[in-house]
């Protein structure tokens, strides 16, 4: 069962906010940012009241992933920006003794509004929605066919900073805090990024993400806990229209 809890944790590892982006005030422009996040995870989790320590390496994520999509879209006039970050992952995991097989799918959607208060600084408010679905197959009747789903929404507030380093290189950081007992007890995210322009409307992006989430619900056999720190490198590309 601990393997199943790890599988659920791996799926939630992709929850994230938008890559750093900024522009001068003026006409509206659209930014598309597909990216890859390869996380490692540490913490504690519980599914159906069963506790497990989470210690998931980057290789575990790669080995168990069936399909995944991570992308961000933003519309901005430089002063006001509207962005949505969307993640979807589907993975399989089996216990070493092959008694239980699990399929986990996770969707994370994060809509945000940014408002520029200084040339390189924006304030941000939004929400972080997480949906986790776990399906089990086993010759054990009590486990076979179990289908569990958890959904929660965290309000979030934060800042986004970005400044040029040279004509072709810029760097920035996105930080936010959320939950406040509405969804999770607390969630914190920090994401530094560096952007390399390769054309007038295309850049290559690299960075690192740290996110901590503490979510608890239910009791007894229905208890669900996700108290995990996730961190990992990010690589992506930005296309501006």
Global pTM value: 0.83
pLDDT tens digits for range 168-227: 999 999 999 999 999 999 999 999 999 999 999 999 999 999 989 899 998 887 888 888
Average pLDDT, the chain: 84
Kindly provide the residue ranges of all beta strands, DSSP E only, lying in the chain, ordered along the sequence: 29-37, 40-47, 50-56, 65-76, 80-94, 101-118, 121-137, 147-164, 169-179, 186-199, 202-217, 224-240
Tokens representing 209 are: 């993400």
> In the chain, what are the domain boundaries?
2-240
Interatomic CA distance for residues 173 and 142, integer angstroms: 47
What span, in angstroms and rounded, lies between the C-alpha atoms of 32 and 72? 6
DSSP string, 85-118: EEEEEEEEEE-TTSS-EEEEEEEEEEEEEEEEEE
What are 138's two structure tokens?
């086993």
CATH of the domain spanning 2-240, picked from 3.30.530.20, 3.10.580.10, 3.10.129.10, 2.40.128.100:
2.40.128.100
How is residue 198 written in tokens? Answer: 């390769």
How far is residue 126's CA from residue 65's CA, in Å, rounded to a whole number?
28
| Distances, alpha carbon 29 to alpha carbons 21, 24, 72, 194, in Å | 12, 10, 14, 21
Q: Is 81 helix (H, G, I), strand (E, B) or coil?
A: strand
Residue-wise pLDDT for 80-117, tens only, equals 999 999 988 887 766 555 556 667 778 889 999 999 99
């Amino acid at each position: 069962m601990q393997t199943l809890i790890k599988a659920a944790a791996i799926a939630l590892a992709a929850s994230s906010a938008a890559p750093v982006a900024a522009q001068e005030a003026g006409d509206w422009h659209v930014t598309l940012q597909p990216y890859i996040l390869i996380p490692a995870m540490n913490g504690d989790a519980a599914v159906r009241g069963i506790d497990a320590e989470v210690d998931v390496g980057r290789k575990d994520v790669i080995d168990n992933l069936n399909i995944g999509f991570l992308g961000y879209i933003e519309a901005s006039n430089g002063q006001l920006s509207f962005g949505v970050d969307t993640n979807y992952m589907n993975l399989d995991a089996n216990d070493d003794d092959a008694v239980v097989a699990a399929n986990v799918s996770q969707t994370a959607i994060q809509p945000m509004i940014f408002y520029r208060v200084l040339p390189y600084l924006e304030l941000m408010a939004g929400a972080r929605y997480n949906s986790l679905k776990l399906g089990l197959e086993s010759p054990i009747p009590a486990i076979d066919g179990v289908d569990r789903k958890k959904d929660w929404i965290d309000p979030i507030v934060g800042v986004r900073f970005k400044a040029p380093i040279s004509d072709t290189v810029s760097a920035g950081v996105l930080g936010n805090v959320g939950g406040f007992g509405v969804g999770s007890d607390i969630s914190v995210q920090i994401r530094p990024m560096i952007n390399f322009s390769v054309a007038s409307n295309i850049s290559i992006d690299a960075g690192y993400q740290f996110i901590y989430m503490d979510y608890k619900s239910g009791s007894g056999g229905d208890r669900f806990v996700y108290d995990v720190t996730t961190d990992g490198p990010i690589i992506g590309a930005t296309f501006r229209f």
